Amino acid sequence: MSTKLRSLLLLVLISVLLVGAGVVQQSLNRDRDRLGLTRVQPLENAPPVLAFTTVALGGFRGLISNALWMRATDLQDEDKFFEMAQLADWITKLEPHFVQVWLVQAWNMAYNISVKFKENSPGQYQDRWRWVKAGIDLLRDDGLRYNPNETLIYRELAWFFQHKIGQNLDDASVYYKEQWSKEMAKVFAKKKPNLEELIHPQTEDQKERARLLRETYKMDPEFMKQVDAEYGPLEWRLPEAHAIYWAALGLRKAAENPTKIKPDDLITLRRVIYQSMLLSFQRGRLVTNPFANAFEFGPNLEIIPKVNFAYEQAAQEDEKNRDHIEKAHRNFLRDAVYFLYEYNRLADAAHWYKYLSTKYPDKPVIDGKPKSLPATVTLDQYAVARVQGDVSDSGGRDRTEGVLEGLLVNSYRSMVLNEDAAAAGFKLLALQLWKSYQSGLPQERLAAVGLRPFEEIDKEVRRHMLDTEEGEPPEVRAVLRGKLGEPPETAAPPATTNAPPEKASSR
Protein backbone atom coordinates (compact mmCIF):
# COMPACT_ATOMS: atom_id res chain seq x y z
CA MET A 1 0.00 0.00 0.00
CA SER A 2 1.40 3.33 -1.02
CA THR A 3 2.23 6.02 1.50
CA LYS A 4 -0.33 8.40 0.03
CA LEU A 5 -3.11 5.82 0.25
CA ARG A 6 -2.18 4.94 3.83
CA SER A 7 -2.24 8.60 4.83
CA LEU A 8 -5.59 9.10 3.14
CA LEU A 9 -7.11 6.11 4.97
CA LEU A 10 -5.78 7.40 8.29
CA LEU A 11 -7.30 10.79 7.68
CA VAL A 12 -10.66 9.20 6.82
CA LEU A 13 -10.47 7.05 9.95
CA ILE A 14 -9.65 10.06 12.12
CA SER A 15 -12.56 11.98 10.64
CA VAL A 16 -14.97 9.09 11.22
CA LEU A 17 -13.79 8.72 14.82
CA LEU A 18 -14.14 12.44 15.48
CA VAL A 19 -17.66 12.50 14.05
CA GLY A 20 -18.54 9.41 16.07
CA ALA A 21 -17.13 10.97 19.22
CA GLY A 22 -19.22 14.06 18.59
CA VAL A 23 -22.41 11.99 18.20
CA VAL A 24 -21.69 10.00 21.34
CA GLN A 25 -20.82 13.18 23.23
CA GLN A 26 -24.18 14.70 22.30
CA SER A 27 -25.91 11.66 23.72
CA LEU A 28 -23.79 11.83 26.88
CA ASN A 29 -24.56 15.53 27.28
CA ARG A 30 -28.29 14.85 27.05
CA ASP A 31 -28.03 12.10 29.67
CA ARG A 32 -25.88 14.25 31.96
CA ASP A 33 -28.31 17.13 31.60
CA ARG A 34 -31.29 14.86 32.30
CA LEU A 35 -29.58 13.49 35.42
CA GLY A 36 -28.53 16.94 36.60
CA LEU A 37 -24.85 16.06 36.46
CA THR A 38 -23.84 19.17 34.54
CA ARG A 39 -25.19 22.32 32.98
CA VAL A 40 -23.13 23.47 30.03
CA GLN A 41 -23.86 26.46 27.82
CA PRO A 42 -22.44 26.70 24.32
CA LEU A 43 -19.55 29.07 23.83
CA GLU A 44 -20.53 32.50 22.57
CA ASN A 45 -18.26 34.73 20.51
CA ALA A 46 -15.45 32.18 20.69
CA PRO A 47 -13.03 31.66 17.78
CA PRO A 48 -14.28 28.93 15.41
CA VAL A 49 -11.28 26.70 16.17
CA LEU A 50 -12.04 26.82 19.91
CA ALA A 51 -15.76 26.15 19.39
CA PHE A 52 -15.05 23.22 17.05
CA THR A 53 -12.40 21.75 19.34
CA THR A 54 -14.76 21.96 22.32
CA VAL A 55 -17.46 19.97 20.53
CA ALA A 56 -15.04 17.52 18.99
CA LEU A 57 -13.13 16.69 22.17
CA GLY A 58 -16.20 16.60 24.41
CA GLY A 59 -14.99 15.05 27.65
CA PHE A 60 -11.56 16.60 27.15
CA ARG A 61 -12.99 20.06 27.69
CA GLY A 62 -11.12 20.13 31.00
CA LEU A 63 -7.83 20.14 29.09
CA ILE A 64 -9.02 23.17 27.14
CA SER A 65 -10.06 24.89 30.35
CA ASN A 66 -6.67 24.26 31.92
CA ALA A 67 -4.89 25.70 28.89
CA LEU A 68 -7.15 28.77 28.90
CA TRP A 69 -6.69 29.17 32.65
CA MET A 70 -2.92 29.18 32.31
CA ARG A 71 -3.17 31.76 29.56
CA ALA A 72 -5.56 33.86 31.68
CA THR A 73 -3.09 33.75 34.56
CA ASP A 74 -0.35 35.04 32.25
CA LEU A 75 -2.61 37.85 31.08
CA GLN A 76 -3.34 38.81 34.68
CA ASP A 77 0.39 39.00 35.41
CA GLU A 78 0.72 41.28 32.38
CA ASP A 79 -2.18 43.50 33.55
CA LYS A 80 -4.17 42.63 30.42
CA PHE A 81 -7.45 42.41 32.28
CA PHE A 82 -9.84 42.94 29.38
CA GLU A 83 -8.36 40.02 27.42
CA MET A 84 -8.39 37.95 30.58
CA ALA A 85 -12.08 38.68 31.09
CA GLN A 86 -12.93 37.10 27.72
CA LEU A 87 -10.88 33.98 28.42
CA ALA A 88 -12.43 33.61 31.87
CA ASP A 89 -15.88 33.88 30.30
CA TRP A 90 -15.09 30.92 28.05
CA ILE A 91 -13.71 28.92 30.96
CA THR A 92 -16.86 29.42 33.02
CA LYS A 93 -18.88 28.09 30.09
CA LEU A 94 -16.58 25.12 29.60
CA GLU A 95 -16.36 24.29 33.31
CA PRO A 96 -19.25 26.02 35.11
CA HIS A 97 -18.44 24.19 38.37
CA PHE A 98 -14.86 25.49 38.47
CA VAL A 99 -15.55 27.91 41.35
CA GLN A 100 -12.19 29.66 41.36
CA VAL A 101 -12.75 31.01 37.85
CA TRP A 102 -16.02 32.64 38.88
CA LEU A 103 -14.28 34.29 41.82
CA VAL A 104 -11.31 35.54 39.79
CA GLN A 105 -13.48 36.72 36.90
CA ALA A 106 -15.82 38.68 39.17
CA TRP A 107 -12.93 40.21 41.12
CA ASN A 108 -11.24 41.16 37.86
CA MET A 109 -14.35 43.03 36.71
CA ALA A 110 -15.16 44.78 39.98
CA TYR A 111 -11.63 45.67 41.07
CA ASN A 112 -9.14 45.54 38.20
CA ILE A 113 -11.12 46.60 35.14
CA SER A 114 -13.38 49.12 36.87
CA VAL A 115 -10.51 51.30 38.09
CA LYS A 116 -9.23 51.68 34.53
CA PHE A 117 -12.08 54.14 33.97
CA LYS A 118 -12.00 57.72 35.21
CA GLU A 119 -14.83 60.12 35.94
CA ASN A 120 -17.33 60.61 33.12
CA SER A 121 -17.99 64.03 34.63
CA PRO A 122 -17.33 65.50 38.10
CA GLY A 123 -18.57 62.98 40.65
CA GLN A 124 -20.01 60.66 37.98
CA TYR A 125 -18.50 57.21 37.39
CA GLN A 126 -20.96 55.44 35.09
CA ASP A 127 -18.34 53.29 33.34
CA ARG A 128 -16.68 52.24 36.56
CA TRP A 129 -20.01 51.35 38.17
CA ARG A 130 -20.97 49.27 35.14
CA TRP A 131 -17.99 46.95 35.72
CA VAL A 132 -18.51 46.74 39.48
CA LYS A 133 -22.13 45.79 38.90
CA ALA A 134 -21.06 43.28 36.22
CA GLY A 135 -18.89 41.49 38.80
CA ILE A 136 -21.82 41.30 41.22
CA ASP A 137 -24.21 40.12 38.50
CA LEU A 138 -21.76 37.43 37.38
CA LEU A 139 -21.56 35.85 40.83
CA ARG A 140 -25.23 36.26 41.68
CA ASP A 141 -26.87 35.42 38.35
CA ASP A 142 -24.50 32.79 36.92
CA GLY A 143 -22.04 31.63 39.55
CA LEU A 144 -24.73 30.72 42.06
CA ARG A 145 -26.99 29.31 39.35
CA TYR A 146 -24.40 26.63 38.63
CA ASN A 147 -23.01 26.39 42.16
CA PRO A 148 -25.89 27.09 44.57
CA ASN A 149 -24.14 25.53 47.56
CA GLU A 150 -20.65 27.05 47.21
CA THR A 151 -19.95 29.14 50.31
CA LEU A 152 -16.97 30.83 48.62
CA ILE A 153 -19.25 32.47 46.06
CA TYR A 154 -21.61 33.70 48.79
CA ARG A 155 -18.66 35.08 50.71
CA GLU A 156 -17.26 36.88 47.66
CA LEU A 157 -20.63 38.33 46.74
CA ALA A 158 -21.13 39.58 50.30
CA TRP A 159 -17.60 41.01 50.30
CA PHE A 160 -18.29 43.06 47.16
CA PHE A 161 -21.23 44.72 48.89
CA GLN A 162 -19.33 45.21 52.14
CA HIS A 163 -15.99 46.33 50.75
CA LYS A 164 -16.26 47.56 47.16
CA ILE A 165 -19.55 49.43 47.58
CA GLY A 166 -19.81 49.84 51.33
CA GLN A 167 -16.32 51.05 52.20
CA ASN A 168 -14.82 54.35 51.09
CA LEU A 169 -11.58 53.06 49.56
CA ASP A 170 -12.60 53.75 45.95
CA ASP A 171 -12.89 57.32 44.63
CA ALA A 172 -16.32 56.37 43.31
CA SER A 173 -17.61 54.75 46.52
CA VAL A 174 -20.23 57.45 47.13
CA TYR A 175 -21.41 57.12 43.53
CA TYR A 176 -21.70 53.32 43.97
CA LYS A 177 -23.87 53.78 47.06
CA GLU A 178 -26.06 56.29 45.26
CA GLN A 179 -26.55 53.96 42.30
CA TRP A 180 -27.36 50.98 44.49
CA SER A 181 -29.81 53.04 46.49
CA LYS A 182 -31.52 54.10 43.25
CA GLU A 183 -31.81 50.48 42.13
CA MET A 184 -33.34 49.48 45.46
CA ALA A 185 -35.68 52.47 45.26
CA LYS A 186 -37.33 50.72 42.30
CA VAL A 187 -37.99 47.70 44.51
CA PHE A 188 -39.24 49.66 47.51
CA ALA A 189 -41.18 52.36 45.61
CA LYS A 190 -38.84 55.17 46.73
CA LYS A 191 -39.84 54.84 50.38
CA LYS A 192 -38.68 53.11 53.52
CA PRO A 193 -38.50 49.36 52.77
CA ASN A 194 -41.64 47.40 53.56
CA LEU A 195 -40.93 43.67 53.26
CA GLU A 196 -44.47 42.58 54.07
CA GLU A 197 -45.88 44.13 50.90
CA LEU A 198 -43.29 42.21 48.88
CA ILE A 199 -43.97 38.93 50.70
CA HIS A 200 -47.74 39.30 50.26
CA PRO A 201 -48.18 41.72 47.35
CA GLN A 202 -51.71 42.96 46.85
CA THR A 203 -51.60 45.60 44.13
CA GLU A 204 -50.18 45.31 40.64
CA ASP A 205 -47.39 47.67 41.62
CA GLN A 206 -46.44 45.53 44.60
CA LYS A 207 -46.51 42.37 42.50
CA GLU A 208 -44.25 43.95 39.91
CA ARG A 209 -41.76 45.09 42.55
CA ALA A 210 -41.81 41.66 44.19
CA ARG A 211 -41.08 40.11 40.79
CA LEU A 212 -38.22 42.57 40.27
CA LEU A 213 -36.72 41.63 43.63
CA ARG A 214 -36.94 37.89 42.99
CA GLU A 215 -36.04 37.72 39.31
CA THR A 216 -33.56 40.56 38.83
CA TYR A 217 -31.86 40.69 42.21
CA LYS A 218 -32.39 37.01 43.08
CA MET A 219 -33.51 37.84 46.62
CA ASP A 220 -36.25 36.19 48.66
CA PRO A 221 -38.31 38.68 50.71
CA GLU A 222 -39.18 35.94 53.21
CA PHE A 223 -35.50 35.31 53.91
CA MET A 224 -34.87 39.06 53.96
CA LYS A 225 -37.41 39.29 56.76
CA GLN A 226 -35.61 36.53 58.69
CA VAL A 227 -32.27 38.32 58.23
CA ASP A 228 -33.80 41.61 59.32
CA ALA A 229 -35.20 39.99 62.46
CA GLU A 230 -31.89 38.34 63.37
CA TYR A 231 -29.42 41.08 62.45
CA GLY A 232 -31.48 44.25 62.05
CA PRO A 233 -33.44 46.37 61.66
CA LEU A 234 -31.47 46.99 58.46
CA GLU A 235 -31.71 49.67 55.79
CA TRP A 236 -32.16 47.59 52.63
CA ARG A 237 -31.32 50.51 50.35
CA LEU A 238 -27.72 50.43 51.60
CA PRO A 239 -25.06 47.85 50.64
CA GLU A 240 -24.35 46.60 54.18
CA ALA A 241 -27.77 44.96 54.39
CA HIS A 242 -27.08 43.04 51.18
CA ALA A 243 -23.67 41.92 52.43
CA ILE A 244 -25.38 40.48 55.50
CA TYR A 245 -28.09 38.86 53.37
CA TRP A 246 -25.71 36.96 51.08
CA ALA A 247 -23.41 35.90 53.92
CA ALA A 248 -26.42 34.68 55.91
CA LEU A 249 -27.72 32.79 52.88
CA GLY A 250 -24.27 31.18 52.54
CA LEU A 251 -24.50 30.03 56.17
CA ARG A 252 -27.91 28.52 55.51
CA LYS A 253 -26.64 26.65 52.45
CA ALA A 254 -23.70 25.43 54.52
CA ALA A 255 -26.07 24.08 57.16
CA GLU A 256 -27.92 22.18 54.43
CA ASN A 257 -24.65 20.61 53.18
CA PRO A 258 -22.50 20.21 56.32
CA THR A 259 -20.22 17.50 54.89
CA LYS A 260 -18.95 19.79 52.09
CA ILE A 261 -18.08 22.76 54.29
CA LYS A 262 -14.81 23.73 55.92
CA PRO A 263 -14.98 25.36 59.37
CA ASP A 264 -12.93 28.33 58.11
CA ASP A 265 -15.57 29.02 55.46
CA LEU A 266 -18.20 29.48 58.17
CA ILE A 267 -15.91 31.78 60.15
CA THR A 268 -15.33 33.90 57.05
CA LEU A 269 -19.05 34.25 56.40
CA ARG A 270 -19.73 35.22 60.02
CA ARG A 271 -16.90 37.74 59.85
CA VAL A 272 -18.57 39.44 56.89
CA ILE A 273 -21.78 39.60 58.90
CA TYR A 274 -20.43 41.24 62.03
CA GLN A 275 -18.20 43.61 60.07
CA SER A 276 -21.16 44.66 57.92
CA MET A 277 -23.29 45.03 61.03
CA LEU A 278 -20.65 47.40 62.41
CA LEU A 279 -20.86 49.50 59.22
CA SER A 280 -24.64 49.44 59.48
CA PHE A 281 -24.43 50.68 63.07
CA GLN A 282 -22.03 53.47 62.12
CA ARG A 283 -23.94 54.77 59.07
CA GLY A 284 -26.74 52.37 58.29
CA ARG A 285 -29.58 54.87 58.21
CA LEU A 286 -30.52 57.05 55.26
CA VAL A 287 -31.18 60.64 56.29
CA THR A 288 -33.67 62.53 54.16
CA ASN A 289 -32.45 66.03 53.46
CA PRO A 290 -35.02 67.95 51.40
CA PHE A 291 -32.62 70.87 51.03
CA ALA A 292 -29.77 69.05 49.29
CA ASN A 293 -29.27 66.31 46.75
CA ALA A 294 -26.37 64.88 48.75
CA PHE A 295 -26.31 61.28 49.89
CA GLU A 296 -26.46 61.46 53.72
CA PHE A 297 -26.14 58.81 56.40
CA GLY A 298 -26.91 58.50 60.07
CA PRO A 299 -26.02 55.83 62.63
CA ASN A 300 -28.40 52.92 63.17
CA LEU A 301 -28.51 52.86 66.96
CA GLU A 302 -31.24 50.23 67.14
CA ILE A 303 -28.93 47.35 66.25
CA ILE A 304 -26.30 47.99 68.96
CA PRO A 305 -27.36 44.93 71.05
CA LYS A 306 -27.22 42.65 68.00
CA VAL A 307 -23.84 43.96 66.85
CA ASN A 308 -22.54 43.34 70.36
CA PHE A 309 -23.86 39.76 70.29
CA ALA A 310 -22.33 39.16 66.86
CA TYR A 311 -18.89 40.21 68.11
CA GLU A 312 -19.11 38.04 71.19
CA GLN A 313 -20.24 35.06 69.14
CA ALA A 314 -17.38 35.57 66.68
CA ALA A 315 -14.83 35.79 69.50
CA GLN A 316 -16.11 32.55 70.96
CA GLU A 317 -16.03 30.65 67.68
CA ASP A 318 -12.78 32.00 66.21
CA GLU A 319 -10.20 31.27 68.88
CA LYS A 320 -7.28 31.93 66.52
CA ASN A 321 -8.34 35.55 65.97
CA ARG A 322 -9.97 36.15 69.35
CA ASP A 323 -7.59 38.94 70.40
CA HIS A 324 -8.25 40.90 67.21
CA ILE A 325 -12.00 40.40 67.49
CA GLU A 326 -12.06 41.54 71.11
CA LYS A 327 -10.06 44.64 70.23
CA ALA A 328 -12.60 45.46 67.49
CA HIS A 329 -15.40 44.70 69.95
CA ARG A 330 -14.00 47.17 72.50
CA ASN A 331 -13.71 49.88 69.83
CA PHE A 332 -17.30 49.20 68.80
CA LEU A 333 -18.51 49.59 72.40
CA ARG A 334 -16.67 52.91 72.72
CA ASP A 335 -18.32 54.12 69.50
CA ALA A 336 -21.72 52.91 70.67
CA VAL A 337 -21.43 54.85 73.93
CA TYR A 338 -20.35 58.00 72.14
CA PHE A 339 -23.01 57.81 69.42
CA LEU A 340 -25.76 57.24 71.98
CA TYR A 341 -24.52 60.20 74.00
CA GLU A 342 -24.34 62.30 70.86
CA TYR A 343 -27.98 61.47 70.10
CA ASN A 344 -29.05 62.37 73.64
CA ARG A 345 -29.87 58.77 74.58
CA LEU A 346 -28.12 59.18 77.88
CA ALA A 347 -29.65 56.21 79.69
CA ASP A 348 -28.61 53.85 76.87
CA ALA A 349 -25.15 55.46 76.77
CA ALA A 350 -24.77 54.89 80.53
CA HIS A 351 -25.87 51.25 80.14
CA TRP A 352 -23.30 50.46 77.47
CA TYR A 353 -20.57 52.44 79.24
CA LYS A 354 -21.14 50.26 82.29
CA TYR A 355 -21.05 47.19 80.05
CA LEU A 356 -17.76 48.39 78.52
CA SER A 357 -16.37 48.93 82.02
CA THR A 358 -17.35 45.41 83.08
CA LYS A 359 -16.15 43.70 79.91
CA TYR A 360 -12.81 45.51 79.58
CA PRO A 361 -12.07 47.06 83.00
CA ASP A 362 -8.29 47.15 82.46
CA LYS A 363 -8.35 48.83 79.01
CA PRO A 364 -8.18 52.63 78.59
CA VAL A 365 -11.21 54.33 77.08
CA ILE A 366 -9.41 57.47 75.82
CA ASP A 367 -6.81 57.08 73.10
CA GLY A 368 -3.34 58.15 74.15
CA LYS A 369 -4.17 58.05 77.86
CA PRO A 370 -3.19 54.65 79.28
CA LYS A 371 -4.48 55.59 82.73
CA SER A 372 -7.98 56.44 81.50
CA LEU A 373 -9.56 53.24 82.79
CA PRO A 374 -13.36 53.12 82.86
CA ALA A 375 -13.39 53.31 86.66
CA THR A 376 -11.53 56.65 86.60
CA VAL A 377 -13.37 58.38 83.72
CA THR A 378 -17.01 59.44 83.86
CA LEU A 379 -19.36 59.12 80.91
CA ASP A 380 -19.41 62.91 80.42
CA GLN A 381 -15.61 63.08 80.50
CA TYR A 382 -15.32 60.29 77.97
CA ALA A 383 -17.80 61.92 75.57
CA VAL A 384 -16.01 65.27 75.79
CA ALA A 385 -12.64 63.61 75.26
CA ARG A 386 -13.95 61.95 72.08
CA VAL A 387 -14.82 65.35 70.66
CA GLN A 388 -11.84 67.31 71.80
CA GLY A 389 -9.16 64.66 71.69
CA ASP A 390 -7.83 66.04 74.95
CA VAL A 391 -9.92 67.53 77.77
CA SER A 392 -7.11 69.77 78.95
CA ASP A 393 -6.37 73.27 77.63
CA SER A 394 -3.50 71.96 75.48
CA GLY A 395 -5.76 72.12 72.47
CA GLY A 396 -5.98 75.89 72.81
CA ARG A 397 -8.92 78.25 73.10
CA ASP A 398 -9.36 78.81 69.38
CA ARG A 399 -9.40 75.11 68.54
CA THR A 400 -11.81 74.33 71.37
CA GLU A 401 -14.14 77.15 70.39
CA GLY A 402 -14.05 75.94 66.79
CA VAL A 403 -15.12 72.46 67.92
CA LEU A 404 -17.87 74.03 70.02
CA GLU A 405 -19.21 75.99 67.06
CA GLY A 406 -19.14 72.86 64.90
CA LEU A 407 -21.19 70.95 67.44
CA LEU A 408 -23.73 73.76 67.64
CA VAL A 409 -23.99 73.97 63.84
CA ASN A 410 -24.64 70.21 63.76
CA SER A 411 -27.29 70.69 66.44
CA TYR A 412 -29.20 73.29 64.43
CA ARG A 413 -28.87 71.40 61.16
CA SER A 414 -30.25 68.30 62.88
CA MET A 415 -33.12 70.44 64.12
CA VAL A 416 -33.90 71.49 60.55
CA LEU A 417 -34.03 67.81 59.50
CA ASN A 418 -36.38 66.96 62.42
CA GLU A 419 -33.58 64.94 64.07
CA ASP A 420 -34.56 66.31 67.47
CA ALA A 421 -32.66 63.76 69.55
CA ALA A 422 -29.46 64.45 67.63
CA ALA A 423 -30.03 68.21 67.95
CA ALA A 424 -30.32 67.94 71.73
CA GLY A 425 -27.33 65.59 71.91
CA PHE A 426 -25.01 67.86 69.94
CA LYS A 427 -25.96 70.84 72.09
CA LEU A 428 -25.45 68.87 75.30
CA LEU A 429 -22.06 67.72 74.07
CA ALA A 430 -21.10 71.31 73.24
CA LEU A 431 -22.11 72.44 76.73
CA GLN A 432 -20.14 69.62 78.36
CA LEU A 433 -17.09 70.51 76.28
CA TRP A 434 -17.41 74.17 77.33
CA LYS A 435 -17.65 73.21 81.00
CA SER A 436 -14.72 70.80 80.75
CA TYR A 437 -12.46 73.40 79.16
CA GLN A 438 -13.37 76.12 81.65
CA SER A 439 -13.02 73.88 84.70
CA GLY A 440 -9.55 72.82 83.55
CA LEU A 441 -8.21 76.37 83.76
CA PRO A 442 -6.91 78.08 86.93
CA GLN A 443 -9.19 80.89 88.05
CA GLU A 444 -6.55 83.52 87.35
CA ARG A 445 -6.23 82.42 83.68
CA LEU A 446 -9.94 82.42 82.81
CA ALA A 447 -9.91 86.06 81.75
CA ALA A 448 -6.90 85.56 79.51
CA VAL A 449 -7.52 82.22 77.78
CA GLY A 450 -11.04 81.26 78.88
CA LEU A 451 -13.93 80.81 76.47
CA ARG A 452 -16.71 83.28 75.91
CA PRO A 453 -19.95 82.52 77.75
CA PHE A 454 -21.68 79.50 76.22
CA GLU A 455 -24.84 81.49 75.51
CA GLU A 456 -22.82 84.06 73.59
CA ILE A 457 -21.17 81.40 71.40
CA ASP A 458 -24.55 79.78 70.78
CA LYS A 459 -26.09 83.14 69.82
CA GLU A 460 -23.21 83.88 67.44
CA VAL A 461 -23.65 80.51 65.68
CA ARG A 462 -27.39 81.12 65.21
CA ARG A 463 -26.74 84.63 63.91
CA HIS A 464 -24.25 83.37 61.36
CA MET A 465 -26.50 80.52 60.19
CA LEU A 466 -29.43 82.92 59.71
CA ASP A 467 -27.38 85.56 57.94
CA THR A 468 -28.98 86.29 54.57
CA GLU A 469 -25.65 86.67 52.77
CA GLU A 470 -23.23 84.21 54.37
CA GLY A 471 -25.54 81.86 56.21
CA GLU A 472 -27.51 78.75 55.26
CA PRO A 473 -29.63 78.53 52.06
CA PRO A 474 -32.96 80.42 52.21
CA GLU A 475 -35.11 77.29 52.63
CA VAL A 476 -32.93 76.09 55.53
CA ARG A 477 -33.04 79.50 57.18
CA ALA A 478 -36.83 79.55 56.90
CA VAL A 479 -37.21 76.19 58.66
CA LEU A 480 -34.66 77.08 61.32
CA ARG A 481 -36.40 80.37 62.07
CA GLY A 482 -39.66 78.50 62.52
CA LYS A 483 -38.01 75.96 64.84
CA LEU A 484 -36.47 78.77 66.91
CA GLY A 485 -39.73 80.72 67.07
CA GLU A 486 -38.31 83.68 65.20
CA PRO A 487 -40.32 85.72 62.68
CA PRO A 488 -39.81 85.14 58.95
CA GLU A 489 -37.23 87.13 57.09
CA THR A 490 -38.37 90.49 55.79
CA ALA A 491 -37.73 91.45 52.21
CA ALA A 492 -34.84 93.87 51.77
CA PRO A 493 -35.99 97.46 50.98
CA PRO A 494 -35.52 98.58 47.40
CA ALA A 495 -32.22 100.23 46.65
CA THR A 496 -32.25 104.04 46.82
CA THR A 497 -30.08 106.56 45.05
CA ASN A 498 -29.28 110.24 45.58
CA ALA A 499 -29.27 110.95 41.86
CA PRO A 500 -31.91 113.52 40.76
CA PRO A 501 -34.94 112.16 38.90
CA GLU A 502 -34.69 112.11 35.17
CA LYS A 503 -36.50 114.86 33.33
CA ALA A 504 -39.28 113.94 30.98
CA SER A 505 -38.18 114.06 27.41
CA SER A 506 -39.87 116.56 25.08
CA ARG A 507 -40.57 116.25 21.43
Instruction: Report pLDDT digits (tens) over 235-291.
Output: 999 999 999 999 999 999 998 887 777 777 888 899 999 999 999 999 888 876 666
What does the pLDDT look like over 424-469, one tens digit per residue?
Answer: 989 998 898 888 888 878 887 777 778 888 999 899 889 888 988 8
Q: What's the confidence (pLDDT) of residue 503?
A: 39
pLDDT greater than 80 at residue 502 = no
Question: 445 by DSSP, 3-state: which?
Answer: helix
pLDDT at 394: 47
| pLDDT average, residue stretch 302-319 | 92
- Per-residue pLDDT band for 311 (boundaries 50, 70, 90) equals very high
More confident: 173 or 12 = 173
Rounded to two decimals, what is the model's pTM?
0.74
What's at 43, amino acid-wise? Answer: L
Give start and end residues of each alpha helix (H) in 234-298: 239-256, 263-283
Average pLDDT over residues 51-71: 59
| pLDDT higher than 80, residue 165 | yes
Asked if residues 229 and 223 have their Cβ atoms less than 8 Å apart, the reply is: no
Q: Is the pLDDT score of 53 beyond 80?
A: no
Task: Compute how many other C-beta atoms are within 10 angstroms of the C-beta atom of residue 389.
Answer: 14
Length in residues, the chain: 507
Q: Which residues pair with 286 in a beta bridge?
A: 297
Instruction: Give 380-428 pLDDT, tens digit per residue.
Output: 989 888 887 644 444 567 777 777 888 898 899 889 888 888 899 899 9
| Res 40: pLDDT | 46
Sign of CA dihedral 472, 478, 480, 485: positive
Mean of the per-residue pLDDT values of the chain: 83
- Give the CA radius of gyration of the chain: 32
For the ranges 74-88, 171-185, 258-272, the lowest mean pLDDT is seen at: 74-88
Residue among 381, 369, 395 nearest 429 (CA): 381
Residue 236 CB-density burial (10 A; 0-12 exposed, 13-18 middle, 19+ buried): buried
Q: Which residues pair with 285 in a beta bridge?
A: 298
Q: Who has greater pLDDT, 14 or 396?
A: 14
